[in-house]
Amino acid sequence: MKLPYQYIVIEGNIGAGKTSLAKRIAKQFNIKLVEEQFADNPFLPQFYENPQRYSFSLELFFLAERYQQLKDNVASQDMFQQQTVSDYILSKSLIFAKINLNENEFALYHRLFHIIYSHIPKPDLLIYLHKDIAVLLKNISKRGRQYELGIEESYLKKIDEGYWEFFRQQAGYPVLVIDTNELDYVNNEADYMKLIAVLSEKYAPGVNRISFGADKTF
């Protein structure tokens, strides 16, 4: 079995489980994994303690690291291992920067972003793992990263809204928004295979929504 996409991106809010899913997919299908090295950002713990002071440094560091990693691993594909799954898209830099930066800082950041954006390939499929805020907070607490424990519900809500605003502007490739509140694709093999079945289908460009379990609006 082979997934019908060359470049797959898995996105989600903080605590959605995007890296865990990307790792499972890479291992099962023997494809290249591009995993964001967020822990290498020296400004991350400082940002959570003092957002106003460290937000610009944080976002610039993330932008530089994400660009370099994607340029090295996606823009220059290995001819023997061309399929790739990544646990982030470069555009998430704009989503977070818009939340964290003031107006003047964001205007400068926006200019810098678009200078480099055209050099990175766009995904063939972008997957967004939607989880309710209460579930995200539970997951954040469970994984126990000290600097994340003070994240507030309002901040996660802003991130979710930022992603939806971004999705509504995408028409060049499929965006698959999956309600994963009822799924445990890390520990439950049946739930994981449900996701794989979904990813094996072809989707039209723009936003496509899939929900498991009880019908709900998300």
CA terminus-to-terminus distance, the chain? 31
From 139, 98, 113, select the one nearest 16 (Cα to Cα): 139
Consecutive H or E run containing 11: strand 7-12
Is 87 designated active site? Answer: yes
Report the alpha-carbon distance of residue 210 to residue 212 in Å, rounded.
7
Distances in whole angstroms, Cα of residue 139 to Cα of each of 89, 128, 171, 174: 22, 17, 31, 27
| Helix orientation angle between 18-29 and 189-199, rounded to the nearest 10 degrees | 80
Largest separation between any pair of C-alpha atoms in the chain: 49
Angle in degrees, CA 202, 206, 211, rounded to 5: 70
Indicate the SS3 state at residue 47. Answer: helix
Of 72, 78, 87, 132, catalytic: 87
Q: Which residue has the tokens 């399929």?
A: 83
Report the alpha-carbon distance of residue 140 to residue 33 in Å, rounded.
23
**Residues marked as catalytic:** 87
